Structure 1
Amino acid sequence: MGDHQMVFVGGLHRSGTTPLAAVLAEHPDVSGLTGTGVVENEGIYLQDVYPQLRALGGMGRFAFNPDAHLTEDSPLAGGASAGRLMAAWSPYWDLSRPVLVEKSPNNIVMSRFLQASFPSARFVMVMRHPVVVALAMAKWDPLVVNRKGRRRVGFEGYIRHWIRAHEILMEDESRLSNLLVLRYEDLVEAPEQQLERVRAFLDLTGPIPATGIRPGRSGSYVRTWEQMRTGSVLRRRRRRVVEERYGERIQGFGYDLSSLGVLEGTGAPSARLDGRG
């Protein structure tokens, strides 16, 4: 790794990790992976150290797979894996820049493993309202059975997966030295303020450009959720199931189920830097 600072960005699909990683890479001291030829330039698809998402069950399933939750106790953790990962990723970074960013969804459940392999690494995790994420993912995954005969995850399944992934992150939080958790909703409402938090967390000199962070991306999902209140019997049932089965746990993460916003009085997620809260 040499003198580089490693930064791992994580968060479930459709949570805002791609625009965040993109604006980070616009800072003159930061390089993101580019020209990789893989989905969203995500490092998971360039390496062979740990399993890829498909082997872990894919989107909407991987957090339930014990093999996805890698920690410092994994036999894969350590310097040898760090060397292999750096060899896989380095061709796609500008190594003249001191800060190197890798972004993949599964980082949300394997940050302890990455910390064991890169002890000085810093982690920026993005969380977005689970209903919005689930509606967005369900739109991506419209078929009941895919072409390979596998049943889709479905709206409720994406809610369950969101909860499990973020429960793992919260369980791991106390074991991470350098963690910053951002809400997508805060990021798009006040991008300069939230990116200043990121800048300070990463010890960067000069602001992170806010270009590419655009508000209003959740409006259609808010309307869909409202329509599920009075729509068909099936749509009403889907909403009711989420409210009754998962409402309390969703609220525990600071999210409102009525407006799909952040609960009033809920502060920003905490940050840990070098073991200090």
Structure 2
Amino acid sequence: MTLQTPPRYLFIGGLHRSGTSLVNRLANALPGAGGITGSAAPENEGVYLQGAIPHTALSGRPMHFAINPAEHLTEDHPLNSLKTRERLEHDWAPWFAPDLQWRVEKSPVNLTRMRLLQQLFPMSQFIVVLRHPEAVAASVASWVDEAPATLIDHWLAAQAQMMADLPYLHAVMILRYEDIVADTPKALRRIAGFLDLPETSTPEAIADGNQQYRGATEMTASQAEQVARWGYQPGLHVVPYEGLVQHPLRAVREAAAP
């Protein structure tokens, strides 16, 4: 009797309007990988299709969830249990194609749940998507009644928390939206390398969505100093960023390197 290898999970997270849906589509295009399809959930996000981790209308709010202590879930959370894992798999299973090597689940709130998800699915991997904070602030302005400077402060706080979580994660990669739109085939190759899957052709033409936000409110000098580590500068300017890939295997790290 041959035992079937269970699928592994790739969780994609990031602030709203950062490009998580774009990365989800790229990952789903890879042979052996696939995401949630056919559901009525917004953007087919798995967070809406499960009852294991409570997700109310007050959860996951744009430019709020990432600095809400109650939504930062780690390995110490009471939901770190076999029961939670089994409920997640039960609720998600109908929405994934059979025989996948990788189940790709994209929800912005994964940004603050990576440590718990790693405990529930020990062989899972994570992609965090970043986008210029001025573009994010301008993009969510119609959703959130806050000043641009406040939204950028939220961006900074969210990434600071994410950085504090990174040492606990075995396998995580940070991708910038700007690098994806500048060279999509390269970004797709990196994702394939991170998952140890064969490469494929780019599934779609991708335009630079930041262009529509030219003239948006710029960061303050203090904010600019803090975001410089990510290669972001005032006026939506972007400079090279060394990137980050963590994985136990050197071959995977090299295949996914910038």
Q: 8 Å contact 2:131–2:178 — kept in the other structure?
A: yes
For each residue in 1:75-111, what CA deviation from the matched residue of structure 2 results, as whole angstroms up to 9, or x when unmatched? 1013221111111111100022221000000111110
Map of 1:267 onto structure 2: 241
1:3 aligns with 2:3: no
Q: Which amino acid aligns with 2:104?
A: V
Distance in 2 between residues matched to 1:269 and 1:53, nearest whole Å: 34
Closer, same or farther: CA 101–261 of 1 in aligned 2, 3 Å: same
| Residues 41 and 31 of structure 1: CA distance in aligned 2, closer, same or farther (over 3 Å) | same
Shift of 1:217: 1.2
Say whether 1:170 aligns with 2:173. Answer: no
CA distance in 2, matches of 1:131, 1:7: 28
Aligned pair partner of 1:215 in 207, 225, 233:
207
1:45 deviates by 0.9
**1:61–1:153 Cα contact (<8 Å) kept:** no
Structure 2: distance between partners of 1:59 and 1:81? 25
Question: Equivalent of 2:29, from 22, 26, 29?
Answer: 26
Following the alignment from structure 2 to structure 1, what is the Cα–Cα distance between the partners of residues 147 and 59? 17
C-alpha distance in 2, partners of 1:124/1:10? 6
Cα-to-partner distance string for 1:26-48 (whole Å, 9 max, x where unaligned) = 22311100111011001111112
Question: One-letter code of the match for 1:130?
Answer: P
In structure 2, C-alpha distance between the alignment counterparts of 1:163 and 1:81, rounded to whole Å? 31
1-structure distance, mates of 2:203, 2:48: 27
Q: CA deviation at 1:272?
A: 0.4
Correspondence for 2:140? 137
Instruction: Report how far residue 187 of structure 1 moved.
Output: 0.6
1:250 aligns with 2:250: no
Please list, as runs of the form range in 1=range in 2, the aligned pairs for 1:150-229 lying within 5 A after superposition. 152-207=145-200, 209-212=201-204, 214-222=206-214, 224-225=215-216, 228=217
For the residue of structure 1 that corresponds to 2:157, the secondary structure is helix
Amino acid at match of 1:190: D
CA-CA distance at 1:244 after TM superposition: 3.7
Distance 2:242 2:190 in 1: 11
Task: Specify whether residues 51 and 195 from structure 1 end up closer, same or farther in structure 2 by C-alpha distance, changes over 3 A only.
Answer: same
Offset from partner CA, 1:234-267 (integer Å, 9 cap, x none): xxxxx4xx31442221223321113x1323xx43
The alignment partner of 1:125 has SS state of strand
Query: What RMSD in Å do the two structures reach over aligned CA positions?
Result: 2.0
CA contact (8 A) 2:31 2:197 kept: no
> In structure 1, what residue type is equivalent to 2:7?
H
Equivalent of 1:99 in 99, 102, 106: 102
* Contact persistence 2:16–2:108 (CA under 8 A): yes
8 Å contact kept, 1:8–1:123: yes
Q: Which runs of 5+ in 1 are unaligned?
A: 142-151, 229-238
Deviation at 1:166, TM superposition (A): 1.1
Question: Aligned in 2, Cα 1:54/1:158: closer, same or farther, shift over 3 Å?
Answer: farther
Whole-Å separation in 1 of the counterparts to 2:209 and 2:88: 34
Quick check: which has more Rg, 1 or 2? 1
Fraction of identical pairs, as percent? 33
Between 245-254 and 18-27, report the one with greater CA deviation: 245-254
CA deviation string 1:93-130 (max 9, x = no partner): 00222210000001111100100100000101110001
Secondary structure (helix, strand or coil) at the match of 2:175 reads strand
Aligned length: 248
Helix, strand or coil: the match of 1:91?
Answer: helix
